[in-house]
């Protein structure tokens, strides 16, 4: 009897810890949009969203650019009002509430410059969602701004400013230098896609920047990053692994 009682108490304790430790990452405060409501909102309309910081892209002149995500979708918040002190508080996983306007730039749907935010209780870090099979489909854009993965893609040649075939370029046209954005082509099933290491997000001191500079044409790679859009899919890559 004592053993049964002890076992029951242990089960209840585990259940209680699980329940206390769980969090509905899609729950919203009063007046806050669900991701579906945000996605359906008209461009240039006022929006109030909540999400969890997945990456900080930049801070400058009291403005911060961040990637947010919950369990339903993801958000790109461009140049929201943010002190340097508050920017330091925005660790990966931090939940924030953002008030601003929805806009679009070159296909990238985002919360426009000048939004305000407040830090909320809660923490969540998303796992990379494999979207390799969605490349070239209309469904891919439904995952815009999410933390995603691409598997078994092949590095293709780019042409630099001197007409040489290379594995990557500084800037989109090869006119840049170390420290600028890196651009490189990868292919899947005969289709080529241009991916980017955004230097504000991952500068030339990061592992991914070094990894791309070490790529060779023909390498097969797995990658992770954020599904940014610029005149079509333009992922901002945060990790590259050569297989």
What is the torsional sign of CA 111, 114, 115, 119? positive
Residue recorded with tokens 């991952």: 202
pLDDT in tens, 212-234: 999 999 999 999 999 999 999 99
Q: How confident is the model at residue 27, as a pLDDT?
A: 95
Q: How confident is the model at residue 23, as a pLDDT?
A: 78
Asked which of 96, 123, 150 is the last residue of a domain, the reply is 123
What is the pairing mode between strands 158-159 and 165-166? antiparallel
Which tops the pLDDT comparison, 13 or 182? 182
Buried residues in 165-178 as b, exposed as e (16+ CB within 10 A): ebbbbbebebebee
CA distance 194 to 105: 18
Q: How confident is the model at residue 17, as a pLDDT?
A: 36
Whether 57 is covered by a domain: the verdict is yes
177 shares its domain with 199: yes
Residue 240: pLDDT over 50:
yes
76 shares its domain with 135: no
pLDDT in tens, 57-101: 999 999 999 999 999 999 999 999 999 999 999 999 999 999 999
pTM: 0.90
Residue 4: pLDDT over 90:
no
199 shares its domain with 143: yes
**Cα 102–108–110 angle (5° rounding)?**
30
169 shares its domain with 78: no
pLDDT in tens, 102-119: 999 999 999 999 999 999
147 shares its domain with 163: yes
135 shares its domain with 119: no
Q: Which residues contact 38 (CB under 8 A, 6 or more apart)?
A: 47, 49, 73, 75, 102
Residue 11: pLDDT over 50:
no
Q: Identify the band that residue 162 occupies on the pLDDT scale cut at 50, 70 and 90.
A: confident
Q: Which residues contact 62 (CB under 8 A, 6 or more apart)?
A: 81, 82, 83, 84
89 shares its domain with 61: yes
Whether 1 is covered by a domain: the verdict is no
Kindly state the DSSP code that residue 85 receives in the 8-state scheme: H
Overall size of the chain counted in residues:
243
pLDDT in tens, 15-73: 443 333 457 999 999 999 999 999 999 999 999 999 999 999 999 999 999 999 999 99
152 shares its domain with 236: yes
Asked which of 123, 149, 171 is the last residue of a domain, the reply is 123
Task: Find, among 243, 200, 198, the residue nearest to 223 by Cα.
Answer: 243
CATH number, position 151: 2.40.50.140
113 shares its domain with 140: no
Asked which of 70, 105, 123 is the last residue of a domain, the reply is 123
Burial class (CB in 10 A: 0-12, 13-18, 19+), 199: buried
CA distance 208 to 42: 36
Q: How confident is the model at residue 22, as a pLDDT?
A: 57
Residue recorded with tokens 């305000």: 116
Range of the domain at 64: 35-123
pLDDT in tens, 189-217: 999 999 999 999 999 999 999 999 999 99
Q: In the beta sheet, which residues pair with residue 81?
A: 63
236 shares its domain with 150: yes
Whether 24 is covered by a domain: the verdict is no
Q: Identify the band that residue 2 occupies on the pLDDT scale cut at 50, 70 and 90.
A: very low
Whether 205 is covered by a domain: the verdict is yes
Whether 4 is covered by a domain: the verdict is no
Domain count, the chain: 2
DSSP line for 190-239: TEEEEEEE-TTTS-TTSHHHHHHHT--TT-EEEEEEE--BSSSB--EEEE
CB-based contacts of 31-40 (< 8 A; 24+ apart in sequence): 32/97, 34/72, 35/70, 35/72, 35/73, 35/75, 36/72, 36/73, 38/73, 38/75, 38/102, 39/73
109 shares its domain with 138: no
Please give the span between the terminal C-alpha atoms of the chain, in angstroms, as a whole number: 56
Whether 7 is covered by a domain: the verdict is no
Whether 20 is covered by a domain: the verdict is no
178 shares its domain with 233: yes
Whether 134 is covered by a domain: the verdict is yes
């Amino acid at each position: 009897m004592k053993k049964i009682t002890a076992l029951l108490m242990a089960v209840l304790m585990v259940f209680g810890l699980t329940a206390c430790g769980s969090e509905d990452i899609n729950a919203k405060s009063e007046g806050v949009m669900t991701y579906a409501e945000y996605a359906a909102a008209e461009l240039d309309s006022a929006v109030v969203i909540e999400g969890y910081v997945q990456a900080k892209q930049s801070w400058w002149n009291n403005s911060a650019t961040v990637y947010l995500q919950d369990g339903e979708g993801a958000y790109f918040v461009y140049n929201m009002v943010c002190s340097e002190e508050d920017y330091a508080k925005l660790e990966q996983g931090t939940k924030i509430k953002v008030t601003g306007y929805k806009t679009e730039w070159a296909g990238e749907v985002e919360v426009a410059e000048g939004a305000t935010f407040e830090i909320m209780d809660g923490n969540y870090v998303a796992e990379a969602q494999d979207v390799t099979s969605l490349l070239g489909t209309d469904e891919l854009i439904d995952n815009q701004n999410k933390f995603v993965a691409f598997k078994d893609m092949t590095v293709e040649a780019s042409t630099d400013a001197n007409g040489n075939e290379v594995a990557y370029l500084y800037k989109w046209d090869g006119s840049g230098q170390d420290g600028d954005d890196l651009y490189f082509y990868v292919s899947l099933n005969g289709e080529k896609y241009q991916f980017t290491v955004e230097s504000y997000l991952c500068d030339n001191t990061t592992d991914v920047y070094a990894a791309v500079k070490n790529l060779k044409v023909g390498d097969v790679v797995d990658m992770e990053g954020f599904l940014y859009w610029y005149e079509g899919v333009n992922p901002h890559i945060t990790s590259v692994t050569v297989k």
